[in-house]
Structures are given as structure tokens and as C-alpha cells.
Amino acid sequence: MEQHVTILGVLHIAWGALGLLTALILTVALLGAGVIAADPEAITVLTIVATSIGFALFLPSVPGLIGGIGVIKHHQWARIVLLVVGFLNLLLIPFGTILGIYTIWVLMHGDVKRMFESKALRGAAERL
């Protein structure tokens, strides 16, 4: 199951990076369209739309990206973050749904739960 955890982390990092890249490209394209139009009203409207769409794509990508990195490092908090992200991804048909199902399957597996809990206990013992 350790290999599944690593694969899951990489998939969430890639999914989050894809969301950030999409946010950047759409924001730049919409802002560029406003500038090309050379109409002050179009620039205002497209700036608002670009900012809204960019933020809407950026915001959900960050927890998956950070959670993916944390899961690869076996942090207990990252398991919880990715479970929440996984359940939310179920709504993003088809790829998000597939990633969500895989996330839930991997992170709810008994061996994986024990792996993260033992890592957390070892870390607490080392700090004492």
C-alpha cells in the first residue's frame, strides 16, 4: 500500500499543478482579450471575470497540491486534507471522480491508516 500512497501523492500534485496552470492560462487569456479589445468597459468586465475564474480554479488546487506533498512524506494531517479533497473531487466528472474514488480507497485502507498513525506516534516519541 505504500506504493499506492506515493502514487496518490504524485497524482494530487499533478492535479493541483494542472489546476494552477489552467487558472494562470485562463486569467492571462481573458486579461489579454480585454486589452486587445481596447474598450474600457470590456477591460473592466474581463478583469473581474478573469480574477473570479482564476481564483475559483486556484483555490481548490492548493489543498490538493500541499496535501499530495504531505502524503508522500506521510504526515497525518495530509491524509485528512486529501480525504476532504478526494470527496470534493467526486463532483468533477470524469477525472476528478476517478481521483476521488482512488483517494478514498487508498487513504481509508486499514494498512494505510495504521501506517500514518505509527508515523505520527514515532514523530511524537522522537520529540519527547
Write down the pLDDT at residue 52: 94
pLDDT value at 120 more than 90: no
85 within 8 A of 12, measured Cβ to Cβ: yes
Confidence of residue 125 (pLDDT cuts 50, 70, 90): low
pTM > 0.75: yes
Looking at per-residue confidence, does 113 or 21 come out higher? 21
Residue 39 Rama label (left phi>0; alpha psi -120 to 50; beta): beta
| Single-letter code of the amino acid located at 27 | T
pLDDT value at 33 more than 80: yes
Residue whose grid cell is 468533477: 92
Terminal C-alpha separation, the chain: 29
Looking at per-residue confidence, does 113 or 68 come out higher? 68
Least confident of 11-20, 31-40, 72-81, 112-121: 112-121
